[in-house]
Structure 1
């Protein structure tokens, strides 16, 4: 018999013996645990210490007598081990004892099935063992079929969906208003989006015959608004109109047509309310309003106007708000300058100058042209404020606040005012109710009009009591959310003048003397200024 790994065989004569076959040509040594398990299953006792000593010295096969006098013959044995993941069955074999039955191919296959191996049996491995039996040797007798993972569905948008894409800047940092390229223009018939459907993959099977599911994949569908056609196969979105494409917060593709005012928006046009984009070639005159669900682009100047846009607002020549100007956008705001205007942006704000304005932005506020400056008013950003100069030599009060969502601050202050107002009203009501109650106790009754007023005050007081609990809970939740903000950065590339107040989340720094080229960040409970270069 030609073999390589060490193995053993049980011999039954006048007593029970173990015949040991040492390894050959670099074969594996005997696994004593395997021998111990085999003999233990037959209640056969042996001096393993003496046996191990004999094994270490043996170069040729030898026979070792056990401490057991008698046992029953044992057939050729197969030990099946199934891997933890169920993907492989490894078999080891022990030769039959004296008088034991040898194993045939059909016996091996039945034993595999008995041990739970029902799939992926490797016929060549079975034949290899049957043709040249190697004992105490691993045979991979079965392999499962691994599942093939598929892939998630994917949507490829055919237009620019980056709401944070910023317009091009000139070498001096100012915005090139003649090459904005941040509006996704489309033509009727253009493809807007393509859906690459998910591939759910192919299930696998382990050696026990159990199904193995591939990893779950994400399924997607194309979501879209009006004036868009979905192809019959559900994989393509086509625009029915020429206009502007956007992707909203719910991943819905929308297209809007553009309303163009070729000259000024003035008393001849009146206010503009439009479901789509508005482009004004000229100016917007004092006191008028523009309300659009899409973008608003104004080629001229705007004075004392209110502009509300669901998308971007672009003012190529800026706005003089005159204390009543309002800009409110769901997207970004880009302007030559902002003066005496209240600004609320759902994206970033970019300008060459901001003067005495109240500016709040979910994204960055960038005033980075060569002479770009912020002078007076308040600027708020959740992420980053980057300006060239802040404040003025005159010590103009200028606030820069970063690190907290401006909408949270508005909500915080609104709730704070409501709570204070409700407390004042309850205090007045309480005094009046006490007065009526004392009058009722002393006189035994109230005139009908006073009684009605007493009941009305009591009802209002009860409602205020209930409302203030809700408001205080909401106020505490907003305050906690503000406290969890981890801060932002304020960068000034040139000069910061005295009179500037810097706030990072809840830490404040008042600038007392001119500093240059600094980055303001929060350090613990303080704001510190670090030189950038």
Structure 2
């Protein structure tokens, strides 16, 4: 700012001046001073402070720095004349769960690799009065101010509240969850703590019980007879045999005597699946799969697939795992077609294949509709009058073609996204401890190897664009 005065002859003189710069974040103001011309005057402290105020600087003025300048005027030198107060960031809220939320712990194996189905100890059990979770409240932090006096807020923090179901109480201070009953506790996909008692069926699931649909865990001490269904939000444990049935679980599925699926048996679990054997069944696991044998089944697991008992054979069908397949024997002397696939999330792969089929069907439908539309259009252009039925059919075809044409672009874009996601998968490992027979197909992500000669004790991994076999031991 310039200060000027006029003498009696109308002459002007430049007074001492200063230039003010405020940092982009508003947390610092810097002044540079310039000398007056001959005959000009020096500014006073009051004028300097007034000039700061006129430039909007209202907070954090460093008067010691102003005094330092006024006592020893150094021109063309930067003086930090004001400093803001930076905010102090707090921290997010946090919930500490007092039970095992990771149900990926493997069951114990004997010396021969077989699983002890009678002592799995992988269910999170609770007793009435147990603490289930503790809430650490968020810290909001402390706001700051910039040199203009404006509030500068700290980073936003995440606030959390407990999500919980029945049979659970909240402590008086709101920071602890307590189980009101003895049973099982799970943390579902929405981070909701759920405690429930187990529905125990001491006999077979058959015509006397009907299908089972239960909000919690189900334990069947008998068998599940062909054609019946079990649906549970928690774990499903079956002590007897399982035939051509459908079992769906929000937790784990444990079959102590396996399943003979008869081509229609389905096991679907958001957690792990453990069975003595899997035969002619479709199996989908959100965790790992452990069995003594898998025969002519379609098995998909987000985690590992372990068939590592003394015989530990996989014969026929397809086994998919995102991470690891570990088995003793793959295929058979008869050359049974057996597919082992690792490295891609099975759910992602299924979505990819379904979309691929949908695109192919849409393209075929558009080609057929296009030919019919072209035929109708040619007739109309030639002056031919169409019957009401044909005209209606023409309009329906045109609408369907337009709808398919609008959708095909989105589907192809989604297909490319899924394809890129699959290609970025890190890959997995397939380990066969004993024999791999001809007729087995090995796939690691997008690389494939067909087995034409017997291999023993090998590990299959992806190397560049190929699958290679290396010694296991």
Verify same fold: TM over 0.5.
yes
Specify the alignment match of 1:135 in structure 2: 74
Aligned partner of 1:113 among 43, 53, 63: 53
Shift of 1:120: 0.5
Q: Determine if the alignment matches structure 1 residue 206 to structure 2 residue 206.
A: no
**Aligned counterpart in structure 2 of residue 216 of structure 1, from 152, 156, 159:** 156
Structural RMSD (CA): 4.3
CA offset at residue 175 of structure 1?
3.5
Per-residue deviation, residues 269-308 of structure 1 (Å, max 9, x unmatched):
5543322211134444555432222210223443444322
- C-alpha separation between the residues in 2 aligned to 1:410 and 1:260? 35
Give the aligned partner of residue 342 of structure 2.
Answer: 402
Q: Deviations over 1:76-124 (max 9, x none)?
A: 4444343333222334445666654344332332233234321101233
Map 1:64-75 to 2 at 5 A.
Answer: 74-75=14-15
**8 Å CA contact 2:356, 2:415 repeated in 1:** no
CA distance in 2: counterparts of 1:106 and 1:82, whole angstroms: 20
List aligned pairs for 1:18-417, cutoff 5 A.
74-93=14-33, 99-130=39-70, 132-136=71-75, 137-169=77-109, 173-230=113-170, 235-262=175-202, 264-265=204-205, 269-369=209-309, 371-407=311-347, 410=350, 412=353, 416=357
- The separation in 2 between residues aligned to 1:422 and 1:79, in whole angstroms, is 69
The answer on 1:491 being equivalent to 2:430 is yes
Shift of 1:179: 4.5
Q: Unpaired runs of 5+ in structure 2?
A: 5-10, 376-384
Distance 2:172 2:99 in 1: 21
CA–CA separation in structure 2 for the residues paired with 1:124 and 1:456 = 89
- Say which SS state the counterpart of residue 352 (structure 1) adopts: strand
Checking the alignment, whether the CA contact within 8 Å between 1:389 and 1:492 is kept in structure 2 is: no
After superposition, residues 383-532 of structure 1 pair within 5 angstroms as: 383-407=323-347, 410=350, 412=353, 416=357, 476=412, 479-480=415-416, 482-484=418-420, 485-486=422-423, 487=425, 488-494=427-433, 495-515=435-455, 516-521=457-462, 523-524=464-465, 526-531=466-471
Contact in 2 for aligned 1:419/1:472 (Cα 8 Å): no
1:260 to partner: Cα distance: 1.5
Change in Cα spacing, 1:139 to 1:376, as seen in structure 2 (3 Å) is same
- 2:396, 2:12 → 1: CA distance? 97
> Aligned partners of 2:110 and 2:155: how far apart in 1?
49
Query: Any conservation in 2 of the 1:145–1:206 contact (CA below 8 Å)?
Result: yes
CA contact (8 A) 2:362 2:408 kept: no
The CA distance in 1 between the partners of 2:413 and 2:14, in whole Å, is 76
For residues 413 and 257 of structure 2, the distance between their equivalents in structure 1, rounded to whole angstroms, comes to 41
Cα gap change, 1:419 to 1:234, in 2 (>3 Å): farther
Q: Report the Cα offset of residue 491 of structure 1.
A: 1.4
For 1:413 and 1:256, how far apart are their aligned partners in 2? Answer: 36
Deviates more, 1:292-301 or 1:133-142: 133-142
Give the superposition deviation at 1:345: 1.8
Taking structure 1 as reference, are residues 480 and 99 closer, same or farther at Cα in structure 2, changes over 3 Å only? closer
Question: Residue 76 and residue 173 in structure 1: after superposition, are their counterparts in 2 closer, same or farther (change >3 A)?
Answer: farther
TM-score using structure 1 length: 0.69
Contact 1:390–1:492 (CA under 8 A) maintained in structure 2:
no
- Quick one: structure 1 residues 477 and 508, their matched pair in 2 at CA, closer, same or farther if it must change by over 3 Å? farther
> Aligned equivalents of 2:404 and 2:43: distance in 1?
86
Choose 469-478 or 384-393, whichever is displaced more: 469-478
Can you give the 5+ residue segments of structure 1 that lack an aligned partner in the other structure?
A: 1-37, 43-70, 435-443
Are the counterparts in 2 of residues 400 and 501 from structure 1 also a CA contact under 8 Å? yes
User: Using a 3 Å threshold, how does the CA distance of structure 1 residues 466 and 404 change in structure 2: closer, same or farther?
Assistant: farther
Q: Distance in 2 between matches of 1:176 and 1:471?
A: 51
Which is higher, the Rg of structure 1 or of structure 2?
1
Please state how far the C-alpha of 1:343 moved relative to its aligned partner: 1.1
8 Å Cα contact 1:260/1:281 also seen in 2: yes
2: distance between equivalents of 1:106 and 1:170?
88
Given that 2:299 and 2:318 are in contact with CA atoms closer than 8 Å, whether structure 1 keeps it comes out as: yes
Do the aligned residues in 2 keep the contact of 1:419 with 1:471 (CA within 8 Å)? no
Deviations 1:484-508 (A, max 9, x none): 3124324124232211012344543
Partner-residue secondary structure (3-state), 1:302:
coil
Matches of 1:89 and 1:407 in 2, distance apart? 57
TM-score (norm 2): 0.77
User: 1 CA distance for matches of 2:79 and 2:393?
Assistant: 91
